[in-house]
Amino acid sequence: MERIYIVEDEARLRDELCSVLEKNGYECIAAKEFDRVAEDILREAPDLVLLDLSLPVHDGFYICRRIREASNIPIIVVTSSNSDMDELMSLNQGADDFITKPYNIHILLAHISAVLLRTNGHKNSLTLSHLGLTLDIGKSRASYKGNYVELTKNELGILKNLMDHKGTIVSRDELIRELWEMEEFVEEGTLNVNINRLRKKLADMGLNDYLKTKRGQGYII
């Protein structure tokens, strides 16, 4: 499920947009405070940003520029301005698309789908998401509700394998083969140590029961 970060200071419009997007299969995150929007977006690492231009504290141009300094997260500017100059400036600051309000929601959804497909190759297999947790494979870190943790190579491998098979039990032997290839040379406690460390990091973000043990069978998320 793609995660979309909405930067819109008009609460009614923000809530309506979030509701429509969720009905169409997206997960929404919405900015409520606007003093550190760019930093929040980079921490959340969403699949796409819908960004208004007229905002408190910093305008959309500033936020777009700050995001582009550190990330290629797709950005669609959604604004009441129909100025050619604003559109040109948005694209020059790194926006991927520009839509004016009021918009037809079906057209907006089509633009979102097209930008996601064009820029990410439909997630590009670099990030995985499940139950609010996002795994950034390229950066070897996991994020949840604005918090993130850095992962070791083994922790990343375990979580990626479980997310690739979400909702399905993955056996201990399968995890060991995936991580260490030659399972006969891996001690029984090695996987336990890595699982426990990963569980603690998930718990530190508020995910206390995310990774479950199925006794005698393996693990599941």
The pLDDT tens digits for 34-67 are 888 999 998 888 999 999 998 888 888 999 999 9
Q: Which range among 38-52, 170-184, 190-204 shows the weakest confidence by mean pLDDT? A: 170-184
**pLDDT confidence tier of residue 178, bands split at 50, 70 and 90:** confident
Q: Residue 185 above 50 pLDDT? A: no
How much of the chain exceeds pLDDT 90, in percent? Answer: 40
Determine contact, residues 40/146, Cβ cutoff 8 Å. Answer: yes
Which residues does 7 contact at the CB level (< 8 Å), separation at least 6? 31, 34, 37, 41, 49, 50, 51, 52, 55, 60, 63
pLDDT in tens, 97-147: 999 988 888 889 989 988 888 876 544 446 788 888 998 887 788 999 888
Q: How far apart are CA 179 and CA 176, in angstroms?
A: 5
**pLDDT confidence tier of residue 70, bands split at 50, 70 and 90:** confident
Q: How many other C-beta atoms are found inside a 10 Å radius of the C-beta of residue 86?
A: 19
Q: Tokens for 48?
A: 């796409």
Q: Residue 182 above 60 pLDDT? A: no
Q: Strand 48-51 vs strand 3-7: parallel, antiparallel, or unpaired?
A: parallel
The candidate with the shortest Cα–Cα distance to 120, out of 136, 133, 98, is 136
Q: Which range among 30-34, 68-72, 187-191 shows the weakest confidence by mean pLDDT? A: 187-191
Q: Tokens for 10?
A: 């008009």
3-state secondary structure at position 116: helix
154 against 217, higher pLDDT = 217
